[in-house]
Chain A
Amino acid sequence: MIPAPFDYHAPGSLAEAIGLLQQHGDDAKVLSGGQSLLPLLKLRLASAVHLVDIGRIPGLDYIKEEGGYLKIGGRTRESALERSDLIKTKYPILHDTALVIADPIVRNRATVGGNLAHADPANDHPATMLALGAEVVVTGPGGQRTIPIDRFITGIFTTALQPSEILTEIRVPTPPARSGGAYVKLERKVGDFATAAAAAQVTLGADGKVERAGIALTSAGPTPVKATDAEKFLQGKTPDAATIAEAARLSGKAASPSADRRGSVEYKREMARVLTARALTTAVARAGGR
């Protein structure tokens, strides 16, 4: 399969890339790792008159802690997250996520920014970033602006990005002590989209009670779903088995998946419940609770 014709641009700086996007407006698409966009162009489910490849712009590929945030450059490869010791030890939910995105070869090119900006409700990073309370930094002609992740993804394959803006950084608040997270995905095989998946990030108080809980679901509707009822329910409670079970029940109720060859609505909603329970149990254990 061969994509329809397009013009290819390889700007060497962010300013040049934004200039190209301004010039070509809706006719242009940003090419990051290309692991979602190129298959869509080949299948001719998407088209572009101009591709603006951000792959040669320096300074968009990093993982670092700074000013109370974990900062991930928009073009950071998923394989870099997978191999990062900082991510493994301090942000296990992101390590879990990187390990189940597509397959290891795809992850060598796929980028974290691309996974978010593509806004496929079956993509894995949106749910983990919702659970973590992340925000994204986008850069456009007027400079930078910061958008909380729950306001970034506005619909299926739709984000708050303007046509001349580029997602340049993801910021995750550095979790306090006694925090832990997990991402649990059900997939038919490696490389498949999630039948259902749940992300959970919790912070426990010194008394072992939940101070903060972030829970979000993948493949549970047209956008990633934040299970706010479950989050509120957990607040201030000791996360024992019965409490986790009730939070998981509330999370499953928040899912509104659609039926496809991966399963019926009822099955996927039930899996959202089961996976939430598993993610919460692991998150609590990682936070140092029981």
Chain B
Amino acid sequence: MSKHTIHVTVNGVPHDEEVDSRLLLVHFLRDQLRLTGTHIGCDTTHCGACTVIVDTEPTKSCTMLAVQADGASITTVEGLERDGKLHPLQEGFYQEHGLQCGFCTPGMLMTAYGLLSHTANPSEAEIRHAISGNLCRCTGYVNIVKSIQYAAAQPR
């Protein structure tokens, strides 16, 4: 098995790390960088709990090798808060009761972050389409949609 030195920027912080070829991005983030906000749910590319932003696109980090991220800029849920202030999406999930158990929340937040980065004012249908690869077993999605709408309505 080959080992590789990768250079990645995670939440604005550059890292040079040695990784095994088979190390998954989600394990790299959680175990090697100790950024445990990104969750492992189904581990089979279905649930979206492990979603992070790779360069500009939401990506299921259980289905990408860490070595494939060499040179990439990654944003995880830990990168949303700025100077002790919640991101409008986090504020929205808080205000609109967008979570219950919280397990899917990091993935929901990052998918919504990806959506708002290219569609500033999404319709309800666009929001529902965007989060269709993220499973939530608690909320029934209604409050998640409201939470994302809350964030979209904030001045940015």
Contact = CB atoms under 8 A, between A and B. Distances in A.
B63 A106 contact: yes
A11 B57 CA distance: 23
Contacts of B65: 8, 34, 38
Given A38-B64, A106-B63, A109-B63, A6 B1 contact: yes
Given A104-B133, A106-B45, A6 B63 contact: no
A169 B132 CA distance: 29
Interface string B49-64: 0010000011110111
Contacts of B68: 31, 34, 53, 55
B113 to A, nearest CB: 12
Given A3-B22, A105-B51, A39 B45 contact: yes
B50 to A, nearest CB: 10
Contacts, number: 86
Contacts of A2: 22, 24, 27
A18 interface: no
Scoring A7, A34, A39, A103 by chain B CB atoms within 10 A of each residue's CB, the highest score goes to: A103
A38 B63 contact: yes
Contacts of B57: 79, 108-109
Q: Which bracket fits the contact residues of B?
A: 20 to 34
> Mostly helix, strand, loop or mixed at chain B's interface?
mixed
A171 B45 CA distance: 30
Interface in B86-135: 111, 129-130, 132-134
Nearest to B27: A2
Nearest to B71: A56
Contact of A102 (B24, B27, B133): B133
B106 to A, nearest CB: 13
B67 interface: yes
Contacts of A41: 22
Contacts of A55: 68
Interface in A104-139: 104-106, 108-109
Contacts of B46: 191
B133 A105 contact: yes
B17 interface: no
Contacts of A79: 57
A10 interface: yes
Nearest to B134: A105
A158 B51 CA distance: 31
A51 interface: yes
Contacts of B130: 104
Nearest to B22: A3
Contacts of B154: none
17 contacts: A2-B24, A2-B27, A6-B22, A8-B2, A8-B4, A8-B67, A34-B65, A38-B64, A102-B45, A103-B132, A105-B51, A105-B58, A105-B59, A106-B63, A108-B57, A109-B64, A190-B133
Interface of B: 1-2, 4, 20-22, 24, 27, 43-46, 48, 51, 57-60, 62-65, 67-68, 70, 111, 129-130, 132-134
Interface of A: 1-8, 10, 31, 34-35, 38-39, 41-43, 51, 53, 55, 79, 102-106, 108-109, 190-191
